[in-house]
Amino acid sequence: MPAFLGWLISFVNTLTGSAILYRAFKKGGKGFFNTVLLSLVVRMFAMCGIIFILIYFFKIEKFSLAISMFFFYFLFLILEINFLNRNKELKHAG
């Protein structure tokens, strides 16, 4: 169960981030940078809050949740960076 929750939290985080980044690409320039930084901060605080709730109130096993969150967060972060690079290349090409 903790591994699934780690995957789910990371997956929702990545979907949210990708949607925000997609809209931020349309702004470009300083608006893009501000949107990306703000979304990173908000998403990180949201993840910390969810993890706190899962551990404190639902007594989810900490070690399995931490390992799965660590693994899936970085896996999805790589996918999100690839999404950014692909959209950047498409924007410059077209």
Whether the per-residue pLDDT at 90 is higher than 70: the answer is: no
Whether the per-residue pLDDT at 92 is higher than 90: the answer is: no
Q: Could you state, in order of their start, the residue ranges of all structural domains in the chain?
A: 2-93
49: enclosing H helix or E strand? helix 29-56
Residue pLDDT, tens place only, 7-65: 999 999 999 988 888 888 877 777 888 888 899 999 999 999 999 999 999 999 999 99
Calculated CA dihedral for residues 70, 71, 76, 81, nearest 10 degrees: 80
Residues contacting residue 42 through CB under 8 Å, at least 6 positions apart? none
Is there a contact between 92 and 27 (Cβ–Cβ < 8 Å)? Answer: no
| Chain mean position to CA 68 | 14
> Which of helix, strand or coil describes residue 61?
coil
Global pTM value: 0.85
